């Protein structure tokens, strides 16, 4: 009869490096393929959400969402009652609150928004549901004086 006398040492095998992504893979212009945090459909949050990474929300959030340097995606199952501050915001679910996009805001055809939008670039897909106002003004609103020879002199000081 065989008897194991010494414990076996398990040696870790090096894992092969993942191949680089193919150049032919289509990417959306708003969200690049990078790691992001996910609130699943069974997650419910009451309060403020802040952080420094991209976020996908499939659950419920009530409060304020502030990820000013990252993208925020409200998934098809997401239900938000909050103001949202983000670099790029994509809405596929339901949002009740104001949206503040640093670069871009997109409401997909399955998205519903009840609130105001402030972003330099806004896209409302055909079929989306939106009620509110849209402000696409640039951040810098300093008036510029133009001389008679049509050259720019600088901001007007009052």
* DSSP one-letter string for 18-71: PPPPPTT----SS--S--EEEE-TT-EEEEEEE-SSEEEE-SEEEEEEEEEEEE
Interatomic CA distance for residues 60 and 82, integer angstroms: 10
Question: For the whole prediction, is pTM greater than 0.95?
Answer: no
What ranges do the domains of the chain cover?
A: 36-137
Per-residue pLDDT of the chain (158 residues; tens, 9 = 90+): 555 555 555 444 554 454 444 444 344 444 454 688 999 999 999 999 999 999 999 999 999 999 999 999 999 999 999 999 999 999 999 999 999 999 999 999 999 999 999 999 999 999 999 999 999 986 655 555 555 555 555 555 55
Say if CB 44 and CB 58 are below 8 A apart: no
């Amino acid at each position: 009869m065989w008897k194991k006398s010494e414990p076996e040492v398990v040696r870790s095998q090096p894992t092969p490096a993942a191949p680089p992504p193919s150049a032919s893979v289509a990417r959306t212009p708003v969200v690049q393929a990078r790691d992001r945090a996910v609130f699943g459909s069974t997650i419910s949050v009451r309060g403020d959400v802040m952080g420094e990474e991209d976020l996908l929300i499939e659950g419920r959030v009530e409060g304020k969402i502030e990820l000013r340097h990252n993208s925020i995606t409200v998934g098809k199952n997401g239900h938000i009652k909050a103001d949202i501050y983000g670099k790029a915001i994509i809405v596929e679910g339901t949002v009740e609150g104001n949206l503040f996009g640093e670069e871009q805001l997109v409401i997909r055809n399955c998205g519903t928004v009840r609130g105001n939008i402030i972003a330099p670039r806004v896209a409302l897909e055909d079929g989306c549901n939106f009620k509110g106002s849209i402000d696409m003004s640039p951040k810098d609103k300093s008036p510029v004086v133009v001389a008679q020879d049509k050259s720019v002199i600088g901001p007007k000081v009052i």
